[in-house]
Structure 1
Amino acid sequence: MSQQEFWNSKFSRDGYLYGLKPNSFIASKVKLFKRAGKILCLGEGEGRNAIFLAKRGFDVTAIDASDIGLSKLEQRAKEEGLNIKTMCLDLNEWEAEEKYDAIVASYLHMYEEDRAKLFENIDESLASGGVFVGEFFSVNQLNFSSGGPKDEKLLYKVEDFKNHYAFSDADIKEQITILDEGKGHQGEASVIRVLLSDN
């Protein structure tokens, strides 16, 4: 099953699987983003982070493999009078072509062997002084029932990030949090939060 088929099966249901509110970690870091800057949302699904950011005056682009998820995003954007650029593609096919002042991601389900290219694309796509903010399920999420993959190969370790960002000032922490994101993410969860500045 392709990424598009997998996520379309989830997003084809009524309502918004992960709710309408943005990811709380991403929302808490908005003050770090350049005013009216360009922001890229990776694996953005039905658009909760993109809508939140566009409402705050940012120039937002959203990438996702699911055309159904993105059509929901586009419908919400139209209703809210927002202009959000969407790109329907698997992140494994994403090529870094533009620079962004910030890149955000919540819960990208990427296999271990695909992450090096993803991290490199993020690095190449950040403008000077740009910020990357991401929240990911850790391997310890297997001990919780609040959402996320049950395949350990799709979950992350702190070392996955520290190995790549060994020489940067990246802030990388694993912690327990309480998720309240629609029907899809509810309850106690083990996450890894990443904050990277490109200085």
Structure 2
Amino acid sequence: MTQQEFWNKKFSKKGFLYGEDANSFLKANENLLKNSKDLLFLGEGEGRNAIYFALNEAFNIESIDASNIGLEKLQNRANTLGMNNISTTCLDLNEWAPTKKYDAILFSYLHMHNKHRDLLFEKIEDSLHKNGYLIAEVFSKKQINYSSGGPKDLTLLYEESDFLNRFNNSKKIKVSEEIVNLQEGNGHQGKACVIRVIIQKK
């Protein structure tokens, strides 16, 4: 099953699988972006994070996801809200070939296989302007013990070292494994073990 087939199946159901509210960690760090303009959201699915940040009309928002159904939901919601500062690209991130730089790159619960992280994280770092931010929340490998969401495949879960041992041209402001209580639609509910990341390009 391709990434598109997998996520289209999840997003084809009525409503928003992970709710309409942005991830709380991304929202809590919006203040870091007060001097930013161009934001990129990776694995953005149905668009809850992109929509939230697009409410700030100073931002130009780009979103990439493998699911055309998820991105259609994003675009339809943006149109309903009268937003014209969001663009979408339907693409498997393994095929992403960046062509520009961003002030910030953000994602929540991006399930990237561990063997593909070197290349993806290199692309992310290269795509940030100087002083640009990566802000992300992902599931820790310890999430395998919780039933609040996320894959049951350790190769799709993360350790702090996944971030600490990469991004060598950046400052690791925060790389922290934490227990949180998720309330994100039907897809993420309850106690979870996550890794929260803030990295700034030097």
Q: TM-score range by the shorter chain?
A: over 0.9
2:118 corresponds to 1:116: yes
Which letter maps to 1:119? F
How big is each residue's C-alpha offset from its partner over 1:135-173, in whole Å with a ceiling of 9 and x where there is no partner? 000000011000000011100011111111356421200
The alpha-carbon distance between structure 1 residues 123 and 168, as it changes in their structure 2 partners (threshold 3 A), is: closer
**Does the 8 A contact of 1:135 with 1:194 survive in 2?**
yes
4+ aligned runs moved over 4 Å, structure 1: none
How big is each residue's C-alpha offset from its partner over 1:19-78, in whole Å with a ceiling of 9 and x where there is no partner? 000000000111101446100000000000000000012110000000000000000000
| 2:64 counterpart residue number | 63
| 1:104 counterpart residue number | 106
| 1:130 counterpart residue number | 132
Percent identity over the alignment is 53
1:159 maps to which of 141, 158, 161: 161
2:150 maps to which of 121, 124, 148: 148
What root-mean-square deviation, in Å, do the aligned CA atoms of Structure 1 and Structure 2 show?
Answer: 1.1
Q: Which runs of 5+ in 1 are unaligned?
A: none
Cα distance in 2 between the residues matched to 1:186 and 1:3: 23
| 2:73 counterpart residue number | 72
Which letter maps to 2:16? Y
Q: Which runs of 5+ in 2 are unaligned?
A: none
Residue-pair matches, total: 199
Q: How far does residue 129 in structure 1 lie from its aligned partner after superposition?
A: 1.5
Cα distance in 1 between the residues matched to 2:166 and 2:23: 24
**Does the 8 A contact of 2:44 with 2:64 survive in 1?**
yes
| 2:179 counterpart residue number | 176
| 1:195 counterpart residue number | 198
| 1:9 counterpart residue number | 9
Cα distance in 2 between the residues matched to 1:75 and 1:36: 25
2:62 corresponds to 1:81: no
Which letter maps to 1:46? E
Cα distance in 1 between the residues matched to 2:12 and 2:47: 14
**Does the 8 A contact of 2:66 with 2:93 survive in 1?**
yes
